[in-house]
C-alpha cells in the first residue's frame, strides 16, 4: 500500500536539499507520502484580479501587471541591524496605473522581472504622495488564457520553508509519482459512498479549482482518516479480551464513606456504584447471563467524566478501596509526577486508615527504592499502586489486578492505556476506568470511545463558590499585581501561568513576546511583587525539584507560583485564590477552564484573570474578547468544551501534547457527524468481513 511513496525520501524531489529536508523534518515530513499528506491549514480566497486604480482596500489583493521599468539593485545598510543588504526596485503596470515594487536581497530576480513580461502579484498596495508601491509581493507568471487558482492553500510553516516551496514540491510529487499513488480505500467503499479517487482528492486538497472540488476532496480525505481511526478503535475494543468477575464486599463501603470528612454528592455515589458493578461484571445482564458458568468475559471499560473540582479523586479512591478490601490489586495512573505524588499522598493516607498498603511508582526513583516497590507490586503486598507512565514499563508486573484507573485520560494515548491493561498476569485484563476532567461533549465521547460506558459527575460538591473571572489587556498588569499582593498579605496564594518554559523557536517565530516562566519570575522580582515569596516551576525540571516546590506551595511557604502548564492537571491547593494566565490567547477555552479550576477549591472567594495583549480597550468586540467572554460568564465545563470544540476542532481541543490519535488532520468532528457515522459503519463492515 503506497510502498513507493512511503519509502521515497523527499530529497528525491527537485528543490529539497539535505538542509531543507531537515526543516521539513520539523514539520514531520520525511517521505513523499508525508508531503502529500501535509495538508493545508486553511485556504485563502485571493479574490479576482483587481485594477490598480480601482482598488482601495488595505488587504492583500491580486494584480496582473506588466514590467515597465526593469529591476535595479542598490546596496544599503539595514536600519534595524546595521548590516549591509541590497534592495531591488522595478515598476510594473496595468491599464489603470503603475506600481513601484520593492524586494530585498533578491538580486537574482533581475532575470525574472524583465521589461515586457507579465506577472500576477499578490500583495498589499501602499499609496503615498510619491506614488503607489508594493513590498515583497508573492508572484507568478501570468498567462492570458490561464485563470489563476483563486483559492490558495495555506500551510503550517516553519522558518525557511515557504508556501511556494511546499506547493511546488507537492505539485512535483503528484506529477512524478502519479503511478505510485494508490488508493487505500477499497473500491467498494469508494463506490458505495460516491467518493472522489484518492489521487484526485490530493490534487483537490492542495490545488483546489473551486469550492466544490475542495469540499469533495476534503470529504474523501476526512472519511479515510475517520475510517482508519475506527478500525483502530474496533481493534482495540477487541471483544475477545478476557476479564473476570470479582466479588466485592458491599457492607465495607459504608465504612469508607462514613470516614470521609464530607458527604458524597449523588453523582459521586452513582459513579462509584457504576464502577463496582463493572468489577463484579454485572454490567451487562445479557452478557452476564450468557457468560454464566464461564470463568471469563470481556472486562468492563468506563469513562468517568466530571468537571474540574467535581471530586473524581474520591470516586477513584472508593474503587481502589473496594478492590483492596476484597483482596485484589488495583492501580491508578496519572499523567505527571506531581499529580501521581499528590494522589499517593491523599489516597495513601486515607487508605492507610483501613490498613491498606499503597505504593508509588514514578520515574527518577532511587534504584533500591524502585526495586523494592517493584517487588511489592509483583508479590501483591502492594494492594494499591499509584504512579505515572513508569507503570507501563517492561519490568512492572502486577498481581491479581482487578482494576486499572487512568486519571486525566486525555493526556494518555489509547496505546498507553492498552499497555496498562496488558500488564496483568496471565492474559486476564483488569476492568478499566478512565477519568476525564476535560468535559468531552457527549457526541464526541460516543464517537471516540465507541464501546465505553460513561458515568457523568454533573454536580459540584456543596458550598463551592464560582471563581470570579476577568479578561484584561496587558495595560492592567500593575493593578493585577497589586491585587495579588493584597491577597498575599491576607495569607492567600496565587498562580501565574505562562505558556512556555524557556525561550523557544516558537517564541522567536511568533509575532509577540512570550513570557517564559524563568525570565518572567526574574522580572517579577523587580516589581512590587518582589517582596513576596516567588518561585517558578516548569515541565522540564527534575521530578524531585518539582515535587519539592509543590510541597512548599501546598505548605503555604510560597506566595506566588509562576508556572508553565505543568499545574494544569489536578493540582489541589485549597488556599490558592488567584490564577493569572498570561498570553491567554495561547490556550484553548477548555484548557483555560482547567487552569481556572486550580483555584476556588477552598471556602474563600477566588479569582481568575485572563491577560492578553490581544485584549485592547479600543477593540472590545474582537472575536478573541468574545471568546474570553464565554469563560467570564460560564463555569459550566461542558458548555465551554462545546464552544471550544466549535472554535478549534477536536485536534486542538485535546491539547498539543496529547498522544495524537484524536488529532485529525482533516476531519472536523464537530461538523462532520454524517461522515463520522458513515466511517463507523464502513469500519464495522470491514471488521465483520475480514475479522480482526
- Contacting positions for ligand ADP (CB under 6 A): 262-265, 268, 306, 308-314, 437, 461, 570, 572, 574, 601
| Cell output for 540 | 522540564
If binding is defined by CB under 5 A, does position 655 make contact with Mg ion? Answer: no
Binds 137: which of Mg ion, ligand ADP, none (CB < 5-8 Å by kind)? none
Long-range Cβ contact pairs of 313-316 (< 8 A, separation 24 or more): 313/343, 313/346, 313/347, 313/407, 313/570, 314/260, 314/264, 314/268, 315/268, 315/271, 315/272, 315/275, 315/435, 315/457, 316/343, 316/347, 316/405, 316/407, 316/433, 316/435
Binds 308: which of ligand ADP, Mg ion, none (CB < 5-8 Å by kind)? ligand ADP
Binds 461: which of Mg ion, ligand ADP, none (CB < 5-8 Å by kind)? ligand ADP
Question: Residue 355 Cβ, how far from ligand ADP at the closest point, in Å?
Answer: 22
If binding is defined by CB under 5 A, does position 335 make contact with Mg ion? Answer: no
Q: Which is nearer to ligand ADP, 311 or 348 (by Cβ)?
A: 311
Question: Residue 572 Cβ, how far from Mg ion at the closest point, in Å?
Answer: 8
Question: Residue 568 Cβ, how far from ligand ADP at the closest point, in Å?
Answer: 11
Of the ranges 216-224, 484-492, 564-572, 640-648, which one interacts with Mg ion (CB under 5 A)?
564-572
Neighbours of 548 (CB within 10 A): 14
Q: Which is nearer to ligand ADP, 99 or 304 (by Cβ)?
A: 304
Binds 262: which of Mg ion, ligand ADP, none (CB < 5-8 Å by kind)? ligand ADP
Binds 413: which of Mg ion, ligand ADP, none (CB < 5-8 Å by kind)? none
**Closest to 578 (Cα-Cα) out of 655, 667, 480, 498:** 480
Asked if 333 contacts 430 with a C-beta cutoff of 8 angstroms, the reply is: no
Of the ranges 12-20, 140-148, 151-159, 562-570, which one interacts with Mg ion (CB under 5 A)?
562-570
If binding is defined by CB under 5 A, does position 40 make contact with Mg ion? Answer: no
Q: Which is nearer to ligand ADP, 235 or 262 (by Cβ)?
A: 262
Question: Residue 433 Cβ, how far from Mg ion at the closest point, in Å?
Answer: 13
If binding is defined by CB under 5 A, does position 570 make contact with Mg ion? Answer: yes
Q: Which residues pair with 332 in a beta bridge?
A: 386, 405
Binds 265: which of Mg ion, ligand ADP, none (CB < 5-8 Å by kind)? ligand ADP
Using CB under 5 A as the binding rule, the residues of this chain from 138 to 167 that contact Mg ion are none
Question: Residue 307 Cβ, how far from ligand ADP at the closest point, in Å?
Answer: 7
If binding is defined by CB under 5 A, does position 597 make contact with Mg ion? Answer: no
Cα–Cα distances (Å) from 596 to 44, 466, 571, in that order, read 35, 10, 11
Pairing of strands 151-154, 42-45: antiparallel
Q: Which is nearer to ligand ADP, 264 or 501 (by Cβ)?
A: 264
Q: Which residues pair with 469 in a beta bridge?
A: 608
Binds 601: which of ligand ADP, Mg ion, none (CB < 5-8 Å by kind)? ligand ADP
Q: Which is nearer to ligand ADP, 269 or 616 (by Cβ)?
A: 269
Q: Which is nearer to ligand ADP, 245 or 576 (by Cβ)?
A: 576
Write out 163-189 in H/E/C secondary structure: HHHHHHHHHHHHHHCHHHCCCCCCHHH
Q: Which is nearer to ligand ADP, 31 or 265 (by Cβ)?
A: 265
Q: Which is nearer to ligand ADP, 218 or 312 (by Cβ)?
A: 312
Question: Residue 464 Cβ, how far from Mg ion at the closest point, in Å?
Answer: 15
Q: What share of the chain is helix, strand, coil (3-state, %, to 5)?
A: 40, 20, 40
Cα–Cα distances (Å) from 477 to 91, 255, 558, in that order, read 48, 50, 21
| Cell output for 653 | 481541543
Query: Radius of gyration of the chain from Cα atoms?
Result: 29
* Nearest residue to Mg ion on Cβ basis: 570
Write out 296-322 in H/E/C secondary structure: CECCCEEEEEECCCCCHHHHHHHHHHH
Q: Which is nearer to ligand ADP, 261 or 511 (by Cβ)?
A: 261
Measured CA to CA, the distance from residue 136 to residue 119 in angstroms comes to 14
Q: Which is nearer to ligand ADP, 73 or 459 (by Cβ)?
A: 459
Footprint of Mg ion (CB under 5 A): 570
Amino acid at each position: 500500500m503506497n510502498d513507493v511513496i512511503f519509502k521515497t525520501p523527499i530529497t528525491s524531489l527537485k528543490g529539497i536539499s539535505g538542509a531543507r529536508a531537515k526543516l521539513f523534518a520539523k514539520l514531520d515530513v520525511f517521505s513523499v507520502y508525508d508531503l502529500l499528506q501535509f495538508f493545508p491549514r486553511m485556504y485563502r480566497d485571493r479574490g479576482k484580479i483587481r485594477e490598480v486604480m480601482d482598488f482601495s482596500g488595505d488587504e492583500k489583493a491580486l494584480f496582473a501587471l506588466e514590467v515597465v521599468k526593469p529591476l535595479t539593485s542598490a546596496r544599503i545598510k539595514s536600519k534595524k541591524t546595521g548590516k549591509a543588504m541590497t534592495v531591488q526596485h522595478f515598476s510594473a503596470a496595468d491599464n489603470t496605473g503603475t506600481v513601484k515594487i520593492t524586494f530585498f536581497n533578491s538580486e537574482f530576480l533581475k532575470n525574472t522581472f524583465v521589461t515586457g513580461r507579465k506577472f500576477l502579484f499578490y500583495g498589499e498596495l501602499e499609496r503615498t504622495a510619491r506614488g503607489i508601491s508594493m513590498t515583497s509581493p508573492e508572484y507568478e507568471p501570468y498567462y492570458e488564457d490561464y485563470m489563476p487558482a483563486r483559492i490558495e492553500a495555506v500551510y503550517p510553516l516553519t522558518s525557511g520553508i515557504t508556501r511556494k516551496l511546499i506547493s511546488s514540491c507537492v505539485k512535483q510529487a503528484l506529477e512524478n509519482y502519479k503511478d505510485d499513488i494508490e488508493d487505500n480505500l477499497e473500491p467498494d467503499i469508494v463506490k458505495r459512498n460516491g467518493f472522489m479517487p484518492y489521487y484526485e482528492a490530493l490534487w483537490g486538497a492542495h490545488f483546489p479549482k473551486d469550492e466544490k472540488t475542495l469540499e469533495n476532496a476534503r470529504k474523501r480525505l476526512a472519511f479515510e482518516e475517520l475510517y482508519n481511526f475506527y478500525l483502530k478503535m474496533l481493534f482495540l475494543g477487541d471483544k475477545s479480551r478476557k476479564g473476570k468477575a470479582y466479588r466485592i464486599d458491599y457492607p465495607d463501603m459504608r465504612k469508607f464513606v462514613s470516614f470521609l470528612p464530607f458527604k458524597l454528592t449523588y453523582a459521586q455515589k452513582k459513579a462509584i456504584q457504576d464502577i463496582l458493578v463493572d468489577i463484579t461484571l454485572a454490567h451487562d445482564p445479557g452478557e452476564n447471563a450468557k457468560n454464566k458458568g464461564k470463568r471469563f468475559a470481556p472486562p468492563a471499560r468506563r469513562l468517568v467524566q466530571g468537571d474540574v473540582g467535581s471530586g473524581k479523586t474520591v470516586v477513584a479512591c472508593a474503587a481502589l478501596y473496594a478492590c483492596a478490601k476484597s483482596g485484589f490489586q488495583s492501580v491508578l495512573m496519572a499523567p505527571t509526577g506531581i499529580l501521581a505524588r499528590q494522589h499517593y499522598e491523599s489516597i495513601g493516607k486515607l487508605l492507610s486508615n483501613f490498613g491498606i498498603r499503597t505504593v508509588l511508582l514514578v520515574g527518577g526513583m532511587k534504584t533500591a527504592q524502585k526495586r523494592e516497590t517493584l517487588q511489592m507490586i509483583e508479590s501483591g503486598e502492594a494492594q494499591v499502586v499509584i504512579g505515572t507512565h513508569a507503570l507501563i514499563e517492561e519490568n512492572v508486573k502486577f498481581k491479581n489486578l482487578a482494576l486499572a484507573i487512568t486519571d486525566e485520560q486525555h493526556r494518555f494515548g489509547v496505546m498507553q492505556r492498552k499497555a496498562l491493561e496488558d500488564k496483568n498476569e496471565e492474559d486476564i485484563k483488569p476492568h478499566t476506568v478512565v477519568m476525564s476532567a476535560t468535559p468531552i461533549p457527549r457526541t464526541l465521547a460516543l464517537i471516540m470511545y465507541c464501546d465505553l460506558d460513561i458515568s457523568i459527575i454533573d454536580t459540584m460538591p456543596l458550598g463551592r463558590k464560582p471563581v470570579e473571572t476577568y479578561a484584561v489587556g496587558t495595560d492592567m498588569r500593575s493593578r493585577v499585581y497589586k491585587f495579588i499582593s493584597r491577597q498575599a498579605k491576607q495569607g492567600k496564594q496565587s498562580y501565574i501561568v505562562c505558556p512556555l518554559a524557556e525561550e523557544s523557536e516558537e517564541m522567536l517565530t511568533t509575532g509577540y513576546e512570550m513570557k517564559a516562566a524563568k525570565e518572567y519570575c526574574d522580572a517579577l522580582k523587580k516589581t512590587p511583587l518582589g517582596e513576596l515569596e516567588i518561585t517558578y516551576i516548569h515541565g522540564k525540571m527534575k521530578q524531585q525539584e518539582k515535587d519539592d516546590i509543590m510541597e512548599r506551595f501546598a505548605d503555604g511557604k510560597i506566595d506566588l507560583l509562576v508556572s508553565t502548564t505543568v499545574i494544569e492537571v489536578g493540582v489541589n491547593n485549597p488556599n490558592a485564590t488567584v490564577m493569572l494566565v498570561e498570553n491567554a490567547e495561547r490556550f484553548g477555552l477548555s484548557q483555560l477552564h482547567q487552569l481556572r479550576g486550580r483555584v476556588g477549591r477552598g471556602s474563600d472567594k477566588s479569582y481568575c484573570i485572563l491577560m492578553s495583549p490581544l485584549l485592547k480597550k479600543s477593540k472590545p468586540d474582537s472575536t478573541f474578547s468574545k471568546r474570553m467572554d464565554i469563560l467570564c460568564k460560564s463555569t459550566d465545563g461542558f458548555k465551554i468544551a462545546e464552544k471550544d470544540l466549535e472554535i478549534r476542532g477536536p485536534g486542538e481541543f485535546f491539547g498539543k501534547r496529547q498522544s495524537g490519535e484524536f488529532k485529525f488532520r482533516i476531519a472536523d468532528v464537530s461538523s462532520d457527524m454524517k461522515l463520522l457515522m458513515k466511517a463507523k459503519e464502513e469500519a464495522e463492515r470491514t471488521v465483520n468481513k475480514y475479522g480482526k
